[in-house]
Amino acid sequence: MHIRANDTVMVLTGDDRGEHGKVLKVDHQAGKVIVEHVNRVYKHVRRSQRNPQGGRLSKEMPVPVSNVMLMCTKCSRPTRVGYRYTDDGAKHRFCKKCGASFGEIAPSRTKKTT
């Protein structure tokens, strides 16, 4: 999956279209992400010892990963993500528009010699 936690994304479709937010959690199994301040719903909570007042809690719900696009930190635009290997064999993500790196996602595959 091309999106990871703590990435900044832009929502492409739905009620929150055009909103930007930080990814809080990624569910690889379901193909969904939870984005800060996006797709908020009210959950009605009964009074209990844990929540003595009760009422309505506002929380973020998951958004399909196909409905969000990664924002480049350098060019500040939504962009597609590319992958490339450096000379030492480490795998990096990069912006397809400006070429800026998003960081290492896999270490180099050098074999240990003992």
Q: Which domain holds residue 43?
A: 1-71
How do residues 58-94 score in pLDDT, each as one tens digit? 999 999 999 999 999 899 999 999 999 988 889 999 9
Residue ranges with strand state E in the chain: 8-11, 20-27, 32-35, 40-45, 55-60, 63-64, 68-70, 81-85, 91-95, 101-106
How do residues 4-18 score in pLDDT, each as one tens digit? 999 999 999 999 999
Record the pTM. Answer: 0.83
Asked if residue 59 and residue 83 are part of one domain, the reply reads: no
Asked if residue 44 and residue 25 are part of one domain, the reply reads: yes
DSSP 8-class letter at 114: -
Check pLDDT > 70 for residue 112: no
Is residue 83 within 8 A of residue 93, CB to CB? The reply is: yes
